[in-house]
Amino acid sequence: MDDAIRLNRFLARCGLGSRRGCEDLIRAGRVSVNGVVASDLSVKVFAGKDIVMVDGELVSLPDETITIMLHKPSGYVTTMSDPQGRPCVASLVPIDAHPSLFPVGRLDFDTTGLLLFTTDGKLGHALLHPRHHVRKSYYALVDGMPSLKELASLREGIQLDDGMTQPCEVELLEGTAREEALALMGAAEVERAFDEGCADGRISSKSFKDAALVFVAIREGRKRQVKRMLSAIGHPVISLHRPSFGPLLLGDLPRGFWRSITNEESALLYETIAHEDGFRG
C-alpha cells in the first residue's frame, strides 16, 4: 500500500477492531507511530514504511490479500459497524477469518447487488479513484415511463447539485430483457418495493407493470448518483440493483451470500486499472 491512510483505518485492517474501537485505542495513548505516541486521530501512516505499535507490540497488515463479492440484500448499511444498531454488511462477510476486509465503495441501505470487499488497500483505493473510471451498472425500477428525450439527456450528462454528470449508458428495458433483469433483481422483492412506495416521493404509477425498468451504467462514484439522476428527470427510483462492478458479474450468487473472486476475475480486475499510473497488483 503506497498511499497514506488514517491510523484508525490501518489499525482496523490489522484486525485490532472497528474503526471506532481503534480510535479509542489512539485516544487512550496506546498507539505509537515511529516511536511517538499518536494522540491525534488525523494521523496518517504508510503501511510497510511507518512503524506502528499498540501496547508496545508491532502491528502490520496481513501479508495475504483476499477479494470477495457479496450479493448485498436490502436493509443493510455499507459499514463495518453502525452506532445506530442497524444491520451492517460486516455480518455477511468473513471478518473473523479476514478482519482487515473492507467494502470498496457503498450501496445504499435499500440498494441490492454486487458489493466488493478486499483486504488490499491499494486495489480498493484505485478502484474508487475517479481517474480509473471503473464502470458500474445498475437496474433501476422507476416511477413512470421516461421519454426518449429524458433518456437522451442522461446519456449526454445532466446538471445535479454537485455539477454535471459525465455521459453514461442508459437503456429502457422491455419485454424479455425486462423479465430477465427482474429475475436477477428478485421480482417478488422488487414488486414489494413498489407496493411500499418510493423514498423520493409518492409513486404515481398505477401498477407495478406501469413502472419502467431502466439499465444505467456510469463511470463516476458520486453519492446516490443513479437515484439523483433519475429523480432529476422526474422518474424517482423505486428499487435499485447493481449486477456488475468493472469486469465482475454478480451472476446467480444468492442474495446475502459471498464468494471469493476467481484468479481470472482477479486478473481482469487488476487489468481494469493497470493501464493508469503504472498500477500493479
**CA angle, residues 280, 80, 58, in degrees to nearest 5:** 65
Residue 45's Cβ-side half-sphere holds a number of Cα atoms within 13 Å equal to 27
Respond yes or no: is residue 108 known to be catalytic.
yes
Neighbours of 135 (CB within 10 A): 15
Looking up cell 407495478 gives 208
Rounded CA gap, 168 and 156, in Å?
7
Closest by CA position to 209, among listed 243, 174, 172, 176 = 174
Per the structure block, which three cell numbers stand in for 98? 479476514
Number of helices and strands in the chain (H, E): 8, 17
Of the candidates 24, 63, 82, 108, the residue annotated as catalytic is 108
Looking up cell 450479493 gives 71
Q: Report the length, in residues, of the chain.
A: 281
| Residues that are catalytic | 108
